[in-house]
Structure 1
Amino acid sequence: MSDSSLMNGENGLKKVTSLLPTNGGNGSYSYFKNSYYQRISAIFEHKKISEEIAEKFDVEDLSLSKAIRIADLGCATGPNTIMNMLNIVEAIKQKYEANKCPAIPSTRPEFQLFFNDLVTNDFNTLFKSLPEDRDYFVAGVPGSFLDRIFPESSLHFVYTSHSLHWLFKLPAELEEENSPAWNKGRVHYTNAPDDVADAYKSQFCEEVRKFLDARAKELVGGGMLVIIMSGTPVDLPLSSTANGKMFEFMASTLMEMVREGLIKESQVDSFNLPLYQSASPEEIVDIVERNGCFSIERLELSKPSSWLKGAAVDVPAWMMHARAAMEGNFIKHFGSNEVVDEVFKRLTKKHLDHSELLPQWCNQDVQLFIVLKRKKIISM
């Protein structure tokens, strides 16, 4: 979504977001065709989600519901979101079968799935991916998930994957040239001064706080919230991870282009990617406990690229995935498709030049898997 796009919050005031959607359509640089790695990372957690549903999803408390309502927040555009939602539906169906009362012919409810993302998300491509013979109801819900987007106590299960580490707004300090957090010559907080990293962290914590406040109102008591997002152990520098190295290479690529007169240095100095990818389990615990409405059922870090098993990384494919997710930020700031083409061409070469180190950079615990339950709401 562009800076000029407006959304209404709960207080009725219009809010501005600097976050942009992933590339729409189904062309060469679309997220539809370049989200395979995100799919693998999500599949890596499917078994855990099914386990948590089997053990902790309260079908008895929800047995009077005519429909189980499930939402994917930050769904982007198919087919990953459909696969993830159907995995959840199947796990809940199995839970109902396991808890079925012999005296009742059928206790399984209907399912209603909600797909949420920015108002400029390509929902058309998403819904074209839906199977025609589906046995569930669907709806698109555009809007910022930092605000309320559903009625109070209306959802039973909320899922979000690879979305919460995207910042809706860059820290204001990064946009002030005289600020200690002015991020000259870099595009991210990787290897940046502490003031830059602290500004990113503060913005991330504020947005997660708003996210949990909104979900606390929308989920029924006993409802489940599953979050998959980037994260790191507290003692792991982001610069030693694959994403951290990519941000370093992006900065050096842009500065090369400055020296060659292709772009202005001031453009690089004022360009920052809205991503916080080093949330630690300790940070998440602190935010959840401060909210007070959720119990932490599961919280762990994992290696989402463990499927590589020492194999070579397909660098061109990885760079296409990165472009599908980030291209809008580059075009909006630098205003030229030619600049974007050149950036990602050079970025691909830099990664190929370091291909022998990629398995090492990828072999890190950089994915957070979080399961929360809404505490029971006690009527007064």
Structure 2
Amino acid sequence: MAAEDTSKVCEAHPMIGGDGPNSYAKNSTFQQGVLDVAKELIRKAIAEKLDIDISSSSTSFKIADLGCSVGPNTFFAVENIVEAVELKYQGQGMNSQIPEFQVFFNDHTSNDFNILFKSLPQNRRYYAAGVPGSFYGRLFPNASIHIAHSSYGIHFLSRVPKAVMDRNSPAWNKGHIWYSNSTDEVVRAYKAQYAEDMECFLHARAQETVHGGLMLLTFPGSPAGFPHSRSVVGLELLGSCLMDLVRKGVVSEEKVDSFNMPVYSMSPQELEVAVKRNG
């Protein structure tokens, strides 16, 4: 059977590769902190929600880390999941039935997979494979993944909303690089892009994940009713700095107007709506 058409226009903005001083590998301690905070929550979810009978019909237990970048955070996340699954088996007296683990590291095709593979832990307890492609489309065969995980990834949109880049659109985001402190039309454009992307993300995962499997997501978000003007203050500060450079003649205004961050800070309620819509 031919693979399903997963064509979706996606922009690729991978993290900086290599292992130099400006690389993601050397500048991702904040994201590691997110994994530290989520560690026990993920273990609890696996202990309470994972149906270990799902692996009885497979020779291996398959884990996908979506938006893995280059490490080391992805290895920390995967190790935590493997340990939690092993504990689940041991807690039910099934030590002899603990399966082999296969881990799929996924990111855009332009991700630095060479550094990722060079950095793989020597004492890992899983078989590793790289899967290039956007997680807003299909990546795996039907019902083949037992746990789909993504940390600090799904707040990145598949692309900048078209309307905010269109000079003739009421949502043209002139003088800003994001929707914070921008017009309602810009906010709606970002919301619409987020809704479209999450529909694609959930549709793909629903087909790829086995019945009884889990999807584990951590992401930067916003509380319900939280004003968009206060979301991710760092991005607003960056935009303000760029406009200062425009006023000083260091950067052209046209260049700043052409740059927007493809990031959206969803609320838990917005994600819940997306999940219910997906069914």
TM-score bin (small chain): over 0.9
* Cα pair 1:78 1:129 within 8 Å, conserved: yes
Task: Specify which of 208, 213, 229 is matched with residue 219 of structure 2.
Answer: 229
String of CA shifts for 1:60-108, please: whole Å, max 9, x gaps: 342342200000000011100001001000000010111125xxx7111
1:231 Cα offset (Å):
0.9
Residue in structure 2 matched with residue 35 of structure 1 by the alignment: 28
After TM superposition, the score normalised by the length of structure 2 is: 0.95
Pair 1:107-2:97 in alignment: yes
Residue in structure 2 matched with residue 247 of structure 1 by the alignment: 235
AA of the residue aligned to 2:91 = A
AA of the residue aligned to 1:154 = S
String of CA shifts for 1:135-156, please: whole Å, max 9, x gaps: 2101000001111110111010
Pair 1:174-2:164 in alignment: yes
Identical residues among aligned pairs (%) = 46
Rg (Cα) greater in structure: 1
Task: Specify which of 88, 91, 98 is matched with residue 98 of structure 1.
Answer: 91
Residue in structure 2 matched with residue 151 of structure 1 by the alignment: 141
AA of the residue aligned to 2:142 = E
Change in 2 beyond 3 A, CA 1:289/1:34: same
AA of the residue aligned to 1:31 = Y
* Cα pair 1:200 1:276 within 8 Å, conserved: yes
Residue in structure 1 matched with residue 43 of structure 2 by the alignment: 50
Residue in structure 1 matched with residue 256 of structure 2 by the alignment: 268
Residue in structure 2 matched with residue 17 of structure 1 by the alignment: 10
RMSD: 1.5
* Cα pair 2:12 2:110 within 8 Å, conserved: no
1:168 Cα offset (Å):
1.4
After TM superposition, the score normalised by the length of structure 1 is: 0.70
AA of the residue aligned to 1:285 = E
AA of the residue aligned to 1:159 = H
1:167 Cα offset (Å):
0.9
* Cα pair 1:79 1:129 within 8 Å, conserved: yes
For 2:115 and 2:188, how far apart are their aligned partners in 1?
38
Q: How does 1:209-228 map to 2 (within 5 A)?
A: 209-228=199-218
Unpaired runs of 5+ residues, structure 2, are none
* Cα pair 2:69 2:111 within 8 Å, conserved: yes
String of CA shifts for 1:300-348, please: whole Å, max 9, x gaps: xxxxxxxxxxxxxxxxxxxxxxxxxxxxxxxxxxxxxxxxxxxxxxxxx
* Cα pair 1:10 1:147 within 8 Å, conserved: no
For 2:69 and 2:176, how far apart are their aligned partners in 1?
27
SS in 2 for 1:44: helix
Residue in structure 2 matched with residue 119 of structure 1 by the alignment: 109
Unpaired runs of 5+ residues, structure 1, are 1-8, 293-380
Pair 1:80-2:63 in alignment: no
- The more displaced of 257-266 and 126-135 is 126-135
1:12 Cα offset (Å):
6.5
Task: Specify which of 76, 82, 89 is matched with residue 89 of structure 1.
Answer: 82
* Length, aligned pairs only: 277
SS in 2 for 1:92: helix
